[in-house]
Structure 1
Amino acid sequence: MFLTRFRLNTARPGARRLLSSPQSMHAAVMSSFPALLPSDTPPPEGPRVLWRLDHQARAEVLLYIVSPHRPDLTHLVEQAGWPAAATADPPEPGWLTKAYAPFLDRLSAGGQWAFRLTANPVHTIRRHDHEARKITAHLTPIHQMRWLLERQERCGFRILEKADNQRLLPGGTTYHGKHEHHGDRYELAVHDHKALSFDKTRNPNGAKKGKPVNLVTVTFDGRLEVTDPQALRRTLAQGIGRAKAYGCGLITLAPLTPTARQTP
């Protein structure tokens, strides 16, 4: 397994084209692996190629890739990076790739980490018993948060709860009818809500393929504790939720700062 970081040069037209189309970015990411063909389908189990865009600032956008094979991002450097700088410094080709296995092997029960996840929180609905279920997006932060909380146990972690003196509400939980709302209970924030709509295409001729793709994506930032290291390793390699081809599902971990280590 490998973890790769690539900074896009947002001043270049090629970068702007990629950022405007999840379909184009997906194709560019998958073209980074010589052994993969466009017709290949990801395995239902086991490591797969995951990617995510992080908008750090207005002009700083980072592409993260988790993959079972080491990528070659030369084409991305030429299209959306700094090719002259990469040529001038051969040891720095324009991206950074590290082996992921040593980090995954160090994960242990009880370890606490900051995390980030961009996901496509959905559920199924139907208006009556005789209607087929339809997949639809969660649209509110409360429901999007609940979507992740419902998956934390089988993903191998638990999201940390805030200390009592950090909560705005007693207990951090409110109720709407029969439903709990945990907006002030957990070390979890939901932001960067995006509604995306684009056509799937047949590369390389660009012909349209099937119905347009409509997605709602959000980014979760929070703090977690490892409960099942093996399950969390699987989650980090396979992703969470749907729309993984379009920049969703990749969860990354980072060490907690000293102040963030304080738990109730």
Structure 2
Amino acid sequence: MRHGVFDEGYALHVLLSAVFGKGMLQPFRTFRPSRGEGGALYAYSDLDQEALCAVAEAAAPPDGLEVVDVAELRTKPMPDRFSPGQRLGFDVRIRPVRRLARDLSDSQSGKVIRKGSEIDAFRLELLRRSPDGWKASEEAPAARVSRDHVYAAWLAERLAGAAEVDARSFRLASFHRLRVIRGDGRGPEGPDSVVHGDCVVEDPASFAAMLAKGVGRHRAYGYGMLIIRPPGTPPRSR
């Protein structure tokens, strides 16, 4: 906890790194039941169950093993072959932000957003559309743009060359704003969203590499794990 903020993604990043090694379970995603306690953590890894357990048993600190029960660890091989034109459903938690290439003024708030800052892709689109500030643009019917549309375009950019997002199936399943902790301890605030939809594989090798790497920024902290499922089926996520 820093600056009064608890960031679950940051805490899990530290825990998983201590138990299994840095980046060994990344990207990852947590799921919780709608009622009751408990939950599950899903992650992609180059190591199988036996290898992950061996690393944990050899090098994990005792307090880490009190939190992570490696005996409950389960793995399955992911498909390593996809076909061009193959249609897949997806479910992914994203932090749809962009880094500013230059200082940007918001006349509504009177503040200057500095070059290099992360900004919600939706807020940035509103600022670009209205010189009177993003709140004014958000309230102006003529300039109105949907968050779904902006986030669909953001995701499509990151999957470009690997898969094409079907805009008709895209759905913003959840959205809220969340302050997070990172290495500098400043706790940037930004969008936290789960999106669902279908995509069509364009380049199988690029798609497989993208699955392993994750989508967007903050992939080491619980974002960007593209979970694939049969197209057109309801997702399991919470």
TM-score by length of 2: 0.65
Give 1 or 2: higher strand fraction: 1
Is 2:153 the partner of 1:153? no
Q: Distance in 2 between matches of 1:190 and 1:121?
A: 12
SS of the residue 1:96 aligns to: coil
SS of the residue 2:216 aligns to: coil
Q: What is the match of residue 136 of structure 1? A: 119
SS of the residue 1:113 aligns to: strand
User: In the TM superposition, what are the counterparts of 1:1-264 in structure 2 within 5 Å?
Assistant: 21-33=8-20, 36=21, 49-59=26-36, 61-70=39-48, 71-72=52-53, 78-79=66-67, 93-100=71-78, 103-105=79-81, 107-125=82-100, 126-127=103-104, 132-139=115-122, 140-154=147-161, 156-160=162-166, 185-200=167-182, 210-256=185-231
SS of the residue 2:152 aligns to: helix
Q: Cα offset for 1:256?
A: 3.3
Q: Distance in 2 between matches of 1:200 and 1:30?
A: 15
Q: Distance in 2 between matches of 1:20 and 1:61?
A: 17
Q: Cα offset for 1:150?
A: 2.5
Give 1 or 2: higher helix fraction: 2
Q: Cα offset for 1:193?
A: 1.6
Q: Note the residue ranges of structure 2 that are not aligned, 5 or more in a row.
A: 1-5, 58-62, 106-113, 123-146
Aligned partner letter, 1:114: G
Q: What is the match of residue 165 of structure 1? A: none
TM-score by length of 1: 0.59
Aligned partner letter, 2:176: K
Residues 49-73 of structure 1 show CA distances to partners (whole Å, capped at 9, x for unaligned) of: 2111234523363311101223337
Residues 115-163 of structure 1 show CA distances to partners (whole Å, capped at 9, x for unaligned) of: 11111111234326xx634321234333222211233323x11123xxx
Q: Cα offset for 1:244?
A: 0.9
Aligned partner letter, 1:104: D
Q: Distance in 2 between matches of 1:250 and 1:147?
A: 15
Q: Distance in 1 between matches of 2:65 and 2:94?
A: 26
Q: Distance in 2 between matches of 1:228 and 1:118?
A: 23
Q: Distance in 1 between matches of 2:233 and 2:173?
A: 24
Q: What is the match of residue 176 of structure 1? A: none
Higher relative contact order (CA 8 A, sep 6+): 2
Q: Note the residue ranges of structure 1 that are not aligned, 5 or more in a row.
A: 1-18, 87-92, 161-184, 202-208, 260-264
Q: Cα offset for 1:97?
A: 0.7
Q: Cα offset for 1:200?
A: 4.3
Distance change (3 Å), C-alpha of 1:29 and 1:152: same
Q: Cα offset for 1:228?
A: 0.8
